[in-house]
Structure 1
Amino acid sequence: MGNGHSAQDEYLLEAILTNQEAEVSNILTKDSTRVNAPLLNGMTNPICRAAYLGKRNMVALILKHQGDINLKCGGKGNTPLMWSAWRNNVKMTQFLVSQGADIEATNNEGLNALDVAITRVSYATALFLKKQGLSPKPAEFYEEKLQVKFDVELFIEKLENEEQVHSFNIFYKRIEREEQEWLSKDLVIDPRETWKKWLTRNMNFEEPPMVPREDIPEDNQPHTTFYGKMTCYLNGINPYPPGHKNNPAKTNDTVDALDKSKVKEPDQELGRNREENKEDDLAIEDIK
């Protein structure tokens, strides 16, 4: 692994994972430099790993051995507090804050723990951090940082008002409605795409640019040009408008032609703890 501790790293990580507190304490007592040393080529470290896994007793043990509560790890440079926010583990977040974690610390992307919670739809944790004095940024700030689309504006609105939220589904309803409205349109591949962009897109296995037929000028409709017809046919879409003699269907079949498997569904684990951390869940209504 390149840091001279490959076997020892794996052993320490396994001890943290399996709650072997005595063994972890023994390792850190024998070599105190390992408490804040990077593991797995800097991808993690003892305290970040313990915080990510939701193991409060292990985090407390590492802190007792002079672990740095704000130690960063991974490519994004997340702190233990950010990892607990990422996992929506409110109790771990509360514990870290009580132990002096810097709530204003930022990672390599300029995100603090509240920002991380928002991008992960971790409402319970975000609500707690908001009550600690952090403020959310404008919705536009988060748009390009989301792992899945959700209603960021609604999320921030409820967060600002410190409202109780009992279901994450409300943050997806508008997005799902807009997506259905979009797919219900007479969608065709935009014939205004240049050959260069077409070639680059296909080399990168990217999806074609879809637009409503009504947005395309009459003299540039896909069924009027060789390029327009070719790109539509190659993607299983009839370039002719519904009702045309070459497209007798009364309704557009574009939605059926699209690869629905590529339509992303909200990750059900976003904004929630994994199964192994259920014991650390804290109901939103319990946050005071």
Structure 2
Amino acid sequence: MGNGHSAQDEYLLEAILTNQEAEVSNILTKDSTRVNAPLLNGMTNPICRAAYLGKRNMVALILKHQGDINLKCGGKGNTPLMWSAWRNNVKMTQFLVSQGADIEATNNEGLNALDVAITRVSYATALFLKKQGLSPKPAEFYEDKLQVKFDVELFIEKLENEEQVHSFNIFYKRIEREEQEWLSKDLVIDPRETWKKWLTRNMNFEEPPMVPREDIPEDNQPHTTFYGKMTCYLNGINPYPPGHKNNPAKTNDTLDVLDKSKMKEPDQELGRNREENKEDDLVIEDLK
């Protein structure tokens, strides 16, 4: 693993994953430097992994061995609090805050725990963090950071009002309606895309820019130019308007990349409480 503790790190990580508290305590007692040492080449560490998995007793044990409650890990530099927000684990979040976790700490992307919760549709955790004094940023801030598309404006509105939300599905209704309305239009590849952008897009395997045919001037319709027809045909769509002699369809065929049936479904775990192990009813040892 490149940090000089390959076998030992694997053993410590396995002990954390399998909830072997006595073994973890024994390892950290023998070598106290291990408590805050990186694991998996810096992708995680003992307290981040325990927090991510929702193992509150394990986190308590690590803290008792002088673990850093704000220790960052991974490419984004998330703290344990951010990982619990990521998993929408309210009880872990509450526990970490009660033990002094810095709620205002930010990761490498400038996001705090509340920001992370919002990008993951983790409403219950976001609501708790809001009540701790954190404030959400404008909806536009999160648009390019979302794990899945959802109604972030509605999310923040309810969060600001500190409303209880019992089903996160309400955050998808507007998006689904807008997608259905969009897909019902006569969509074509925008013929105004430049050759340079076309080349860059294809080299990066990006989706083509789609626009309603009605938004394109008559003299620049895709079926009137070689470039417009070529880009449409290459992506499996008829450049001619519905009803044209070269397109007898009543409505235009939708590209596979925009086919609703093939669109990625929202992560079933998003917005839910993802406490994976049942430590909630266990008594957590006093850390003081």
Same fold (TM over 0.5): yes
Residue 64 in structure 1 maps to residue 60 in structure 2? no
Shift of the alpha carbon at 1:41?
A: 1.1
Distance 1:68 1:227 in 2: 59
Do the aligned partners of residues 284 and 9 (structure 1) sit closer, same or farther apart at CA in structure 2, a change above 3 Å counting? closer
Distance 2:71 2:287 in 1: 27
Distance 1:281 1:258 in 2: 46
Do the aligned partners of residues 166 and 215 (structure 1) sit closer, same or farther apart at CA in structure 2, a change above 3 Å counting? same
Contact 2:104 2:134 survives alignment (8 Å): yes
Do the aligned partners of residues 275 and 113 (structure 1) sit closer, same or farther apart at CA in structure 2, a change above 3 Å counting? closer
**Over residues 214-261 of structure 1, what are the superposed CA-to-partner deviations in whole Å (9 max), with x where a residue is unaligned?**
111100101111111111112111111111111122222235785556
Shift of the alpha carbon at 1:273?
A: 3.9
**Over residues 41-95 of structure 1, what are the superposed CA-to-partner deviations in whole Å (9 max), with x where a residue is unaligned?**
1111111110000000000000110111111111111111110000000000111
Q: Which residue of 2 aligns with 1:286?
A: 286
**Can you give the 5+ residue segments of structure 2 that lack an aligned partner in the other structure?**
none
Do the aligned partners of residues 125 and 252 (structure 1) sit closer, same or farther apart at CA in structure 2, a change above 3 Å counting? same
Do the aligned partners of residues 148 and 280 (structure 1) sit closer, same or farther apart at CA in structure 2, a change above 3 Å counting? farther
Shift of the alpha carbon at 1:264?
A: 2.7
Do the aligned partners of residues 14 and 275 (structure 1) sit closer, same or farther apart at CA in structure 2, a change above 3 Å counting? same
Aligned residues: 288
**Can you give the 5+ residue segments of structure 1 that lack an aligned partner in the other structure?**
none
Do the aligned partners of residues 281 and 61 (structure 1) sit closer, same or farther apart at CA in structure 2, a change above 3 Å counting? closer
Q: Which moved more, 1:166-175 or 1:191-200?
A: 191-200
Contact 2:63 2:287 survives alignment (8 Å): no
Contact 2:60 2:285 survives alignment (8 Å): no
Contact 1:238 1:247 survives alignment (8 Å): yes
Do the aligned partners of residues 283 and 245 (structure 1) sit closer, same or farther apart at CA in structure 2, a change above 3 Å counting? farther
Do the aligned partners of residues 44 and 218 (structure 1) sit closer, same or farther apart at CA in structure 2, a change above 3 Å counting? same
Residue 267 in structure 1 maps to residue 267 in structure 2? yes
Structure 2 SS opposite 1:117: helix
Shift of the alpha carbon at 1:202?
A: 1.7
Shift of the alpha carbon at 1:104?
A: 1.0
Do the aligned partners of residues 113 and 286 (structure 1) sit closer, same or farther apart at CA in structure 2, a change above 3 Å counting? farther
Distance 1:186 1:281 in 2: 56
**Over residues 99-141 of structure 1, what are the superposed CA-to-partner deviations in whole Å (9 max), with x where a residue is unaligned?**
1111111111111111110111000001111111111111111
Contact 1:183 1:255 survives alignment (8 Å): no
Shift of the alpha carbon at 1:274?
A: 4.0
Q: Which moved more, 1:278-287 or 1:129-138?
A: 278-287
Percentage identity across aligned positions? 98
Distance 1:285 1:202 in 2: 57
Do the aligned partners of residues 277 and 151 (structure 1) sit closer, same or farther apart at CA in structure 2, a change above 3 Å counting? farther
Contact 2:57 2:279 survives alignment (8 Å): no
Do the aligned partners of residues 118 and 229 (structure 1) sit closer, same or farther apart at CA in structure 2, a change above 3 Å counting? same
Q: Which residue of 1 aligns with 2:102?
A: 102
Contact 2:237 2:255 survives alignment (8 Å): no
Structure 2 SS opposite 1:19: coil
Contact 1:236 1:257 survives alignment (8 Å): no
Structure 2 SS opposite 1:277: coil
**Over residues 155-211 of structure 1, what are the superposed CA-to-partner deviations in whole Å (9 max), with x where a residue is unaligned?**
011011111111110001111111111111000111111222222222222211111
CA RMSD, aligned part only? 3.8
Do the aligned partners of residues 278 and 26 (structure 1) sit closer, same or farther apart at CA in structure 2, a change above 3 Å counting? closer
Contact 1:90 1:280 survives alignment (8 Å): no
Distance 1:281 1:243 in 2: 66
